[in-house]
Amino acid sequence: MIVAMDPLNLFIIFISGLLVSIVTGVAGGGIAIFIIPLLTIFGLPIQVAIATQKFGNLGSATTGTYRFGKDKKIIYKYAIPVVLLGMVGAAIGAQILIEINQEILSILVGIVILALIPIGLFGNSFGLIKKIPSKVDLTLGYFIHFINSIYGGFFGAGGGFFSMYTFIRFFGLDYLEANATLRLPWLASLLVSVPIFAFYGLIEYDVGVALILGTGIGGYIGSHIALKKGSRVVRIVFTIISILMALKLILFP
């Protein structure tokens, strides 16, 4: 154990994971941007916080995949290739040994997110009407997702935004289908990266179990709300979370 956690702290982490996962379950991403800073407040080093947060995400990824799959909202013809690319990318990202400046990376990701948000705000049909993608769009979509999965393997804050944007812009899905379809590759990437982090001893398991329980319940509730409210509500929540995420990355890297 790197940090001794008493039951009260673990309960706070559980509740935080539950509440954050409800909101991000509707939005389609953003959990890392809230949970990683919380874990550092409790004394976990940044690498341990990232690895433990990914372990905890297994709860939300599993229940979200189940809930969306139950309503047949996952588009498997895109999800399966993306899963394979994502697993390779996650393995590469989790094993990156090159020193990287996390602050500069956070600022750059935040700027890119802010630059892309207007597309969702001012594109009246963006993410609300499904489109048939071209072969060029599909190729670019798979490539961008592969790069995003590498990024997600070693850091990941903002990765959910790029996955949602990729599924909508390049695969022609609406917000609800994009939210649902990204769950399967997200779960697959965690199943690849978490064992690598575990091998290097970077996971705090008591904290991780509290997160799994919290995010598991919250992820199911959030997915249920998204299914009931539809793409318009998902777009609103996604946009709000994306703006908060971008500002956090830029102002507090």
User: Quick one: what percent of the chain has pLDDT higher than 90?
Assistant: 32
**H/E segment holding residue 64:** helix 46-70
| Secondary structure tally for the chain: helices H, strands E | 11, 0
Per-residue model confidence (pLDDT) at position 235: 78
CA distances from residue 207 to 3, 44, 104, 226, 229 in whole angstroms, order as listed: 10, 10, 28, 27, 32
Tell me the per-residue pLDDT of 211-220, one tens digit each, with 9 for 90 and over.
Answer: 999 999 999 9
C-alpha triplet 215, 216, 222: angle, nearest 5°: 75
- Does residue 101 register a pLDDT over 70? no
Once rounded to an integer, what is the mean pLDDT over residues 83-89? 86
Q: Are 164 and 178 in contact (CB under 8 A)?
A: yes
| Residue 41 neighbours by CB under 8 Å, 6+ apart | none
Tell me the per-residue pLDDT of 20-49, one tens digit each, with 9 for 90 and over.
Answer: 899 888 887 778 778 888 888 888 887 888
Tell me the per-residue pLDDT of 190-234, one tens digit each, with 9 for 90 and over.
Answer: 888 899 889 988 899 999 999 999 999 999 999 999 999 888 788
CA distances from residue 34 to 17, 30, 147, 209 in whole angstroms, order as listed: 9, 7, 23, 17
Once rounded to an integer, what is the mean pLDDT over residues 67-81? 91
Is the pTM here over 0.95, yes or no? no
CA distances from residue 1 to 9, 158, 164, 245 in whole angstroms, order as listed: 15, 29, 36, 30
Among candidates 60, 61, 94, 48, which has minimal Cα distance to 207? 48
Per-residue model confidence (pLDDT) at position 139: 94
Q: How many CA atoms lie within 13 A of 2 on its CB side?
A: 17
Calpha distance 162→148 (Å, rounded): 7
CA 131 remoteness from chain centre:
24
C-alpha triplet 2, 25, 152: angle, nearest 5°: 55
Tell me the per-residue pLDDT of 102-138, one tens digit each, with 9 for 90 and over.
Answer: 666 667 666 766 766 665 555 566 667 788 889 999 9
**H/E segment holding residue 3:** none
Q: Are 197 and 96 in contact (CB under 8 A)?
A: no
Q: How many CA atoms lie within 13 A of 208 on its CB side?
A: 19
DSSP state of 155: T
